[in-house]
Amino acid sequence: MTKFSIGSKVKNMIRNWLDIQPAPEYSITITEKTGFMTDVIRSQLWYRGDAAELSQFFGQLNLGTNSFWSSVPENEKIRKIHSGLPAIIADTLSYIVYSDMDDIKVTGDKAKADFENISEHIDFTELTGKAIVTALVDGDGAFKISVDTELSDTPIVEFIGADKVEYSFVRGLLNEVIFHSVHYAGSKRFHLEEHYGKGYIESRLYDDNGHEVGLDNVPCLAQIPPRTEFEGDYIMAVPLKFFSSRKYPNRGKSIFDGGKSDCFDALDEVISQWWDAIRAGRVKQYIPESMIPRDPANGKLKAPNQFGNSYISIDPPLSAEGAAPKIEVVQPDIKYEAFVASYTNCLLMCLQGLVSPATLGIDVGKMSSADAQREKKDVTGNTRNTITTALEKALPQLVSAVLMTYDNMQGKAPETYEVTVDFGEYGAPDFDSRVETVGKASTYGIMSVKTQVEELWGSSKEEDWKAAEVKRIMQEKGLTEGEPTAVGDEFA
């Protein structure tokens, strides 16, 4: 190939080279319809499940007639029905989590004694159940630890929802938990902010104009110092959230966000239309006037009795067309299959990604195959695992902070505590199934007596009882410590 031909090819390549110009960037402005507090209130109203409250709330959002609950029909006789599904979802998820919570374990004799004393005043299981529901509905919240010796000689723990708490972060690290509350002094309204930071609590009171005023303006707050410092590098508050919000940084996401509100709205619309159609589809009777009973006293027509319509048949007069009058019964044809299909699809959209229909006791046998239902059941397990993962981190922090606060109340230097919280396995087999499984494992000599007892009884028995049971079985069978039994004979 000559030098001349190579140069020509290079020139053609440069001449044909694509000169791609970048697309111009556009400035796009998006106006949010709702803010954080409005979203929280909406989730709380879905959980409350009052149809009148939902109608009032959505009617004030200025969303037009696109939403079922925001629409105002010309015919006021249309009945708006709420399914109550949001509350069922939140309560069910909370129950399947806190009902499987094992005992909170604290390391150390002194710590155990202090925790038992505190547990007499605080039901941590009940507190956890309420916290789960609130965090699922609101999106997040925080455990608030306070001290009031007039009420209790141990720390007081409350869970505050997202509408009354906010967080201060510095470079991604939690700096303060700020609690909000409203107080009244006569007809005046005040707003209290309690800033919970590491080693301190600051209380700030504001009037309706947003000006900071003294705490003595409210009698019940007069004894609270503006700043309280305590020993220990910890915060007397523990945040809790299960899902992170992409809309609001450092805040949690409600299970009713992300389009679920629209799904609940659609479900209520389908249910309301269904029952409105049933009401309109009632059996109607058209009775000729000559066949309606009359009052013997005055000869006026009497209203037909639906439970005792017995008449004496006589020769009726012929109509103008020559036909004898007769009672006509008319009932509209309601497309039940179409309503059921719409209801089923809306229901699945509401539950998608949160919980399976079988978990809520909904008969879904006709919806899909058994294999598909087993896969949907995993959705409940995934949601439960997300909740338990967050609790296994937050509850030990809470118990540790409570114990450190208890040390401060007793005038002692706060210690460092080791706390663990475990949850049982979701969908664990019943006792008979465990006996069968453990028996098979023992048949092959692959499971020690201690493991067998642990698998059978788990957290339902105390450690001392299980240790005594292991010792008894081994003594009866003449086994050495840790040796697997032979052919499952410990159940003989």
Q: Closest Cα partner for 442 from 468, 466, 477?
A: 477
pLDDT at residue 147 is higher than 70: yes
pLDDT grade for 487, boundaries at 50, 70 and 90? very low
Q: Is residue 455 part of a domain?
A: yes
Task: Tell me, yes or no, whether 304 lies in a domain.
Answer: no
CA 367/CA 373 separation, integer angstroms: 9
Taking 70 as the threshold, does the pLDDT of residue 11 lie above it? Answer: no
- Contact (CB, 8 A) for 339 and 273: yes
Q: Which residues pair with 242 in a beta bridge?
A: none
Per-residue pLDDT of 376-406, as tens digits, reads 557 888 999 999 999 999 999 999 999 999 9
C-alpha–C-alpha distance, residues 70 and 353, integer Å: 26
Report the alpha-carbon distance of residue 61 to residue 354 in Å, rounded.
Answer: 27
Same domain, 114 and 215: yes
What is the tens place of the pLDDT at every residue in 58-77?
988 876 657 888 886 656 66
Considering the chain, what is the average pLDDT of its residues? 83
Are 120 and 260 in a shared domain? no
Residue 224: domain span: 101-254+377-428
CA–CA separation, 200 vs 196, rounded Å? Answer: 6
105 & 235 share domain: yes
Reply yes or no on whether the pLDDT at 169 is more than 90. yes
Q: Is the model's pLDDT at 486 over the cut of 60?
A: no
67 within a domain of the structure (yes/no):
yes
Digit-coded pLDDT (tens) for 418-468: 999 988 776 655 566 677 777 777 777 777 888 888 877 776 677 888 888
> Could you give phi then psi for residue 101, rounded to 5 degrees?
-75, 125
> Do 113 and 211 belong together in one domain?
yes
CA dist 253 and 239 (Å) reads 13
In a domain, 15, yes or no: no
| Whole-angstrom distance, CA of residue 48 vs CA of residue 43 | 9
Q: Tell me how many domains the chain contains.
A: 3
- Flag whether the pTM goes above 0.75: yes
Output the pLDDT for position 490: 45
Residue 302 covered by a domain: no
Q: Name every residue whose Cβ is closer than 8 Å to that of residue 85 and which is 6 or more positions away in sequence.
A: 264, 267, 347, 350
**Tens digit of each residue's pLDDT (9 = 90 or more) over 272-322:** 888 777 777 666 666 776 667 777 788 787 776 665 555 555 555 655 565
Same domain, 403 and 262: no
pLDDT digits (tens, 9 = 90+) for 317-374: 655 565 666 666 666 666 777 778 888 889 999 999 999 888 888 875 555 555 555 5
**272 and 237: one domain?**
no
